[in-house]
Each structure stands twice: as structure tokens, then as C-alpha cells.
Structure 1
Amino acid sequence: MENKTLFGELPLGWKHVALSDVTTFISRGRQPKYIASVEGIPVINQKMIRNLTIDYRYVKYNDAKKNINKSVFIKIGDTLVNSTGVGTVGRSAYISIDPMRPTFVDSHVTIVRPDTAIVDPKFMSVVLSSDVYSNYMGSTLAQGSTGQVELSRQKLSLNFQVKCNDDNEFLIVV
């Protein structure tokens, strides 16, 4: 396997593993049924993912009567990745604190949930949020044209690589 990564030379003794091998969950969110009331369930959308954080000024609400799979509710340690649209694909944010109430992501956002026994969630998020990775996601992994590009869960989980040495130190690289 090639010894080069997006960040330069691969350190001696490190090996390739797919991002999916060091995560417990990589999936798009769900299509919400939006309502005008703040009594609904908060939904994170692409507009909210800015500057590596969540901007709650743009939050929308889902009808609480609509059943949503619990797996797409955010957890501390998740990295959220915008997955549609030229100029927004690859933009990401790290969930560092519990939201004040259960919150899920819509279908234009991918949740990357690391296996904390294998990789540090903050470190994974920093690398996924880097300009190098964001550009790679937008220019290489995303498919489509005329502003309608999509970053699939399959592309994200297969194309990102994690390198680890024998001491179980991890570095996410391509």
C-alpha cells in the first residue's frame, strides 16, 4: 500500500484501516416533518453546521408525533458532516456537550460516531474538520453535478483511512 497520505508521509510502522473499522456508527440522519412550534424535537440541518460547531440560531423542529430512530439522535463525541451541496459538503462539527433535549440530524447530515475504545473522538473530529479533509470530501468523494453533489456513507466509510502504530496511537489520514 502506498506510503503517502493527504497530510504527507505515513509514519513507519503504521497501517491502513477504514474509518468504518474505528467507528460504531456512520449514517445519514432522517427526513423530518417540520413544524413551526418549539415544542417539537430539535433537528440539526446543514445550515447549522458552521465553524466546527452547531449554530442553534438556525434550528428547526420536528413533529414530536413522528417516530424517529434513536440512532440518529446526537451524542457527545459525534462528528456531524454535511453531505449534500457544492460548497457545503464536508463542513463538519463536533458534539462536545449534551444538547439540552434530545436532538437528531436531518437526511443531509451524516453522523460519524467513533469507537472510543479505539480512537479519540476529538482528534477524529479535528482531522475530519480540517481544510484538507473537507476539500477532499467535496472534490473527490462527493458525486454529482450542478450543485447537487452527495457524499454517501459508503464513500465516507471506505475512503478515509486510519493509521495506527503498535502502541494503539491513532491518526486519521487518507
Structure 2
Amino acid sequence: MFEKQKFPFYNKASLMKIASSHSLRCDSKQFEERFEKLDNLLNKNETFYLGELLPDPLIKGSQPVYIEGTEGVPVINTLSIQNMEINTKDCRYISDEDYTVVSENRKLILNDVLLTMDGGTSIGKAALFNKEGDFTVDSHVAILRPKGISPKALVYLLASPIGQLQFQRAESGASGQTSVIEEDLRRFKFPKSLLDKIGDIVEELDKKNNKIKRIKIKLQHQEKKIWEDFSFKALGIEETEN
């Protein structure tokens, strides 16, 4: 729906259009067809800014002093957030003593929304915090505590093609050191009518995602069986001998 154009491409833009952007950016990326298409679709209906759902400033972690092993408190980083889930096996750890001096607002609570804000291809990964025990985040992950929308719905908005496209447009900085700043994130736009039905949409999406997960697990088992059969045949043994 919003595929990236192949470069090079030619485009014209008026200074009036550039002036309409709060950031006044005039780099070629801002005028890619996929961004124009999104703007045209959003402008057909009333929209809201993401900042309207975030009354408090974003909370970013500090860069911790890690310890070896897993005896302390896990720190969620960009690698820990994958496919809207938190993989604790990818967390690094700080000591219990260091955790006691972490500010209270950086100590994660149930249903916090976690979002990666920098790191090139790692930008824009969102997840719902649903773990038990003590956790915090490093300096590359922001904590969002929305009002007026469920935390899970916010995760889905950010992870949707509409949200991801706005991350790609807002990303700035030197190659390999890019980021999205809080001001740009707060200016992400979504259809206002979505707020009235977002609960039903999230519920439906959950059902479809769970169905896909079950299918993937089944296919993984089938793939494992195929390779086992191959190994038996390659070794010249009957499966019943194993």
C-alpha cells in the first residue's frame, strides 16, 4: 500500500508546502510518493495528533552499568523488543543496588508502552510491558503512558503501516545514528474516527494474530518433521529404528 519508491526519482515541491511542515524539512525523502499518499488519505477525514493521548513527557532510560550474568534486574533494550513482544533472554542486567537509585518513573509498571526511538532500523518498535518483577529500560527505549486510549491499542497504532510510515518520514540524523525526537512523535496523525472503534479493531486483530501464531507453530513442527525424515533417509535408517 505504501511501498518505497526506487531511486532515483524526480519530484517538485513548492516552498509553501515545505513551510506547512513544522520541521521545515526539504530533503527529498519528505516528498516520496508513499508519504504524499498517506497525507492525502489522512486529510480526507478529521485527524488527531498522537500527542493528544500523551499528557506526560516521554520517559527515556539512562545508560546503565551492566553486570555479568542474570542475577540482577533486567534492562530492556532495542534488541529485547521484537514483533511487539519483549524477549527477556535478550535483556542485560544491572545490580539490585543500581536499581534502587533508578528514578521511580523509569521503573516499569504493568501496561507501560515501550518504544524504540533511535538506532536506524530499530526505530519505531513498540511493545506492551506485561512482565512480572522489576524491570527498567536503557537510553534507547522510551516509556509511554497514554490517556484516552488503551496501551495495547497505542502499540498497534505505532506498529501499523500508518504509524511505521510516519516513523520513516520523521527519522533524521547521520547514517547509523538516526532517531525520532519526541516533538515529531507527538505530531503523528491518525483518523479521529478510529478512537471510537479502536477497541473492536484491537480485539479482531488479536484473534487474527493468535490464529496466525498457531498456524506458524504447526508449520514449524511440519518443517522439523520434514528435516528429520531427510536425515533418516540420508543415513539409510528407518524412522522406527530411532
Report TM bin, short chain. Answer: 0.7 to 0.9
Change (3 A) 1:7 1:92: farther
Alpha-carbon shift at residue 124 of structure 1 (Å): 1.3
Change (3 A) 1:78 1:90: same
Relative contact order, CA 8 A, sep 6+: which one is greater? 1
Residue 155 of structure 1 corresponds to which residue in structure 2? 184
Output the amino acid matched with 1:104: T
Alignment of 1:63-142 (within 5 A): 63-66=95-98, 67-95=101-129, 97=130, 99-115=131-147, 118-137=148-167, 139-142=168-171
Assess if the C-alpha contact under 8 Å between 1:74 and 1:102 holds in 2: yes
Change (3 A) 1:125 1:64: same
What TM-score results when the alignment is normalised by the length of structure 1?
Answer: 0.78
Q: Give the gaps of 5 or more residues in structure 2.
A: 1-19, 21-36, 199-242
Report sequence identity in percent.
25
Runs of 4 or more above 3 Å deviation:
4-7, 9-12, 161-165
Q: Which has the higher strand share?
A: 1
Secondary structure of the residue aligned to 2:115 is: strand
Residue 196 of structure 2 corresponds to which residue in structure 1? 169
Q: Give the gaps of 5 or more residues in structure 1.
A: none
Output the amino acid matched with 2:106: V
Assess if the C-alpha contact under 8 Å between 1:89 and 1:150 holds in 2: yes
What TM-score results when the alignment is normalised by the length of structure 2?
Answer: 0.58
Output the amino acid matched with 2:161: D
Output the amino acid matched with 1:136: Q
Change (3 A) 1:6 1:113: farther
Aligned length: 160
User: Which whole-Å CA distance do the structure 2 matches of 1:63 and 1:87 have between them?
Assistant: 30
Q: Which has the higher helix share?
A: 2
The higher radius of gyration belongs to 2
| Residues 53-86 of structure 1: per-residue CA shift (max 9 Å, x gap) | 0011111111222211111222222221111111
Assess if the C-alpha contact under 8 Å between 1:45 and 1:108 holds in 2: yes
